[in-house]
Amino acid sequence: MTSTHAVPPADPVAVPAPPEEAVAPLMRGIAVLRGLTDAGGAAGLSDLGRTTGLARSTIDRVAGTLARMGYVHLDGSNAVLAPRLMELGNAYLAALRLPDLLRNHADGLADELDESVSLAVADGDGIRFIHQAIRRRALSLSFRIGDLLPAERTAPGPLLATDWSAQDWARWRERRLADPEDLGFPAIPPRSRSADAVDFERRVEQARLHGWALDDQLIEPGLVAASVPVRAPDGRIACVASAVSHTSRRSADSLRDSLLPRLRTAVAAMERELAAAPQPEAPSAPSGLAAWTSASKQELGGEFITSLARGLTVVTAFGEGRAELTLSQVAERTGLPRATARRALITLQHLGHVTVSGRSFRLTPRVLALGFPPLSKTTLTRIAHPHLAALTRRVRDSTSLSVLTGDDVQCAASVPAGRIMDVDIAVGARVPAYATSTGRILLAGLPAEGRTERLAQVRMAPLTSRTVTRPTVLKAILDRVREEGYALVEEEMEEGLRSIAVAVRDRDGSVIAAINVNMHSSRRSAEECVEDILPELRDTAARIEGDLHITGRFVRVPTV
């Protein structure tokens, strides 16, 4: 339910002037990332200049540095958020640990209720989602991990507000006066009617008394939700679990009566999980990114903004087992000088991405505002396409990504080379798996039992005079493909067509797709394919997998 209205800065309340030690380039870089996030993940460089107030020359340098880091793709005068940017949000979520510990419970509850279930934490006077288990329907929840909502228009908000201080309440009132239509929350429609502050205060007191809260169409007509707090072993609210439905299926009252007991049961299981979870061990090895930024500066000169790259590197110092770090630990983890790490932390604290308690620093949910919401909805196809395009430019032949569908492979992404005689495979096209390079990669990647069963059932017709049609021969070929890690098919699908393919694997190492290079057999010999094209294919697969593994750390990545 993302709205299309013009979006002002996400926090409409006046921000104090930055401290003298703040790193201005880091502030500018974060402003650009926030601008791209609020624009849905892509924007023209000139548009970013208007929304951030930065000069076009500054925007160009910032975008160039972010592109060098792999955080954006540049397409002419446009910038697009890249999957690698999600490592910043991943650092927060890994340090928080709640998604890893609780998502199986949330997903199981969504399956049991056949309704969407979410986990949310407090972010100032708003709530921010850290996990979503969505039921796919024509009328379904479309919030994303990282989306920020005003507390008063949600079910989790009153529960989280039970912990607010007088200063928190004052800030909430200030924000409502400054932004009466909620234009600073691009994930929801503007407020259509005046909100009663007393009503929210009443809902908070009811939540304090009853231990649950409802959202009866506060965000938009038809949307209802029930929420229960998930408490940490020390009694504080760690997050809030919500079951969300639509009035076409349930009213707010029926949601409370029918789903609230099961929601409470799931929350109790979540709390037992939190109580039993052992403390993770913190990796000690430095990230090496500081050395990379220095090398990038030497290569690119003044167009590379070192202080921006190093400042964002500080965010990645945090993670599982590293929820709280001292300045010395941040410097050690990143390889940055203490003075550089200190200035970056001061800047991040000023912007609300880091909080400090004593000598320890901790990431805040606001880190998720740096690209996570739009990127959390990405697909394998979108991840792969820029890498396939780069491969096509290098080898000057058509490339594609395919997945296994029954006995066929289906093209999910394709980049033609633009030759007069070209291999043009349409997205969505299906061809027999047994006679194609991608199909053999995908068949070889099946577990042994499933592969044997599949080969016993498949009907292999001769598509050309060279098509392998004997199951025993195909089995031997697949064994060799598993051992060698690639498949080369010559004129078995079509006369004159040669293709070489490698696998794309998920975080668990399972083969989920295959990429290939297609060419006319006169272009290269089989030996040249193995010598020249195979290394390029493997490098491209590694790049796709790198982005996929970052993206899939806390979200499910569909194929299309």
Q: What is the pTM of this model?
A: 0.91
As a whole number of angstroms, the distance between CA 287 and CA 506 comes to: 23
Specify the amino acid at residue 87.
E
CATH class entry, domain 100-276: alpha beta
Divide the 560 residues of the chain into consecutive groups of 10 and give the mean pLDDT of each group.
Answer: 38 71 96 96 96 95 94 94 96 97 96 94 96 70 88 96 96 93 90 75 96 92 93 97 90 87 97 94 63 69 88 94 95 92 97 96 98 96 96 94 94 83 75 94 91 84 92 93 96 91 96 94 90 97 96 92
> What stretch(es) of the chain map to CATH 1.10.10.10?
24-90+282-375
- Pick from 199, 272, 258: which is nearest to 230 by CA? 272
Of the chain, the end-to-end C-alpha distance in Å amounts to 20
Q: Write down the CATH number for the domain with range 24-90+282-375.
A: 1.10.10.10
pLDDT of amino acid 4: 35
Residues 6+ apart with CB under 8 A from 16: 350
pLDDT of amino acid 287: 59
Q: What is the DSSP letter of 481?
A: H
Q: Is residue 237 classed as helix, strand or coil in its secondary structure?
A: strand
Q: Is residue 21 classed as helix, strand or coil in its secondary structure?
A: coil
pLDDT of amino acid 193: 65
pLDDT of amino acid 1: 37
For domain 380-551, the question of CATH label 3.30.450.40 is answered with yes
pLDDT of amino acid 286: 58
Q: Exposed e or buried b for every residue in 266-302, given b needs 16+ CB within 10 A?
A: bbeebbeebeeeeeeeeeeeebebbeebeebbeeeee
Residue 378, both tokens = 């990405």
> What stretch(es) of the chain map to CATH 3.30.450.40?
100-276, 380-551
As a whole number of angstroms, the distance between CA 40 and CA 38 comes to: 5
pLDDT of amino acid 195: 58
